[in-house]
Amino acid sequence: MSQKNKTLGEFIIENQTSFKYTSGELSRLINSIRLAAKVVNYEVNKAGLVDILGAAGDQNIQGENQQKLDVYANEKFIQTLTNRNIVCGIASEEEDDYISINSQDENNQNKYVVLMDPLDGSSNIDVNVSVGTIFSIYRRVTPVGTPVTIDDFLQKGNQQVAAGYVIYGTSTMLVYTTGDGVNGFTLNPAIGTFYLSHPDMQFPVDGQIYSVNEGNYIRFPQGIKDYIKYCQLEEGDRPYTSRYIGSLVSDFHRNMIKGGIYMYPESSKYPNGKLRLLYEANPMAYIAEQANGKASDGFNRIMDIQPTELHQRVPFICGSINMVEKAEEFMKNAK
C-alpha cells in the first residue's frame, strides 16, 4: 500500500509508537475528533438546504453573536468526546467555562483535556466560504482520577501533545500533528473515509502572500503598517499578493501550502489582539512550528506565553519563517 493510500485509522495505528505516550488513548481521541468532524461536515455541506444558517440568537462568552452552526458543531464535538469516555475535560470557545468529564467517577483514568474552536469562521457559511474546526490536546497536570481544574487548561502551548484543524471546503481535510511533523488527510465523501493526501506538510521558508484585514490598517501598530508597506513595495520578489479570506483555518491552510504570512495584530479596537490564545493561536502555532513555520505575537513566541484565563486574546502573526521574522523586525524597530 502506498503512503498516500493509507487511511487516517491506519496511519494512526502505524505511527502510534512514535508518540512518547503509547497507551493508545491519544489515538482513540484523534479517532473521536475524526468522527465528530464527519458529522459536522455533513451538516456544513447541506447548510443551504436546512434551517441551520444564520444567527442562533445568543452570544458567546466574548459577546459575539453565535451562529446556528457554531452551536451545532460545539454540541457534536462535546457529545462525541464525552460519550466515548476518552477525555477528562473539555474547553470550548463557545462555552463560558471548562467542562469536567466524569468528575465523580473514581475509576476515571483519562489523562487528556481538549480545547477547541468548534467552527472557526462560521459567519462565512452564509456565503459558502470555507470554515474549519481547530483543536488542541494536553495531558492533564492534576492527579489522574480527580476532577480537572483550571490549571489543566491554562498550560503554555509548548506543553501541547497534539493539535490540528479540519477545513470544510471544496474538499474536507483533517490536518494534525503529535509533535512528529504535520500530515493532512482528505475525506472521500463516497465512503466516509479520510485518506492521507498531504504527507509531511511544510511551510516554504519564504512566501509571496500576506493575509491581513487591511480595512483595519489605520488601527494597526506602526510596525505592522510598516511591514504592510514593505509587502506592497515593488522590489525584488515584491510586491507580495494580498489574500485574506477572514477564516483563520482557510488562510493558514493556503499559506502553509503556498508560502505566506497571516496577521491579526493588536489594534486600537482590540488592544490585546482578537484571536484566542488557547483555542486558535496555540494550536495553529504548534502546527506551524511542526511544519517549519513560525508563530509570534510580534515580539514573543506564541507557545511560550503563559495563559491566565480561558478566553485570553493575543496578537497573532504566523507563517513562513522568514516572513514572520521580517514582520517581527519591523515591530521591534517601531517600538
Give the single-character DSSP code of 141: S
64 appears as a binding residue in the annotation: no
259 appears as a binding residue in the annotation: no
274 appears as a binding residue in the annotation: yes
Which cell numbers in the block locate residue 220? 494597526
Which cell numbers in the block locate residue 48? 443551504
35 appears as a binding residue in the annotation: no
Give the single-character DSSP code of 7: B
277 appears as a binding residue in the annotation: no
The 3-class SS string of 111-138 reads CEEEEEEEEECHHHHHHCCCEEEEEEEE
Which of 122, 114, 115 has the alpha carbon at shortest distance from 70? 122
98 appears as a binding residue in the annotation: no
- State how far the Cα of 71 lies from the Cα of 119, in Å rounded to an integer: 9
- State how far the Cα of 229 lies from the Cα of 223, in Å rounded to an integer: 10
211 appears as a binding residue in the annotation: no
How far is the CA of 62 from the CAs of 58, 95, 119, in angstroms? Answer: 11, 10, 15
Neighbours of 205 (CB within 10 A): 12
3-state SS assignment for residue 223: helix
Q: At what angle do helices 321-334 and 222-232 cross, to 10 degrees?
A: 130
- State how far the Cα of 76 lies from the Cα of 37, in Å rounded to an integer: 9
119 appears as a binding residue in the annotation: yes
Give the single-character DSSP code of 44: H
- State how far the Cα of 118 lies from the Cα of 81, in Å rounded to an integer: 12
Give just the sign of the alpha carbon dihedral 151, 99, 286, 80.
positive
Residues 6 or more apart from 105 whose CB is under 8 A from it? none
180 appears as a binding residue in the annotation: no
Binding-site residues: 93, 117, 119-123, 213, 244, 274, 280
Annotated binding site for substrate: 120-123, 213, 244, 274
Q: Which residues are annotated as a binding site for Mg(2+)?
A: 93, 117, 119-120, 280
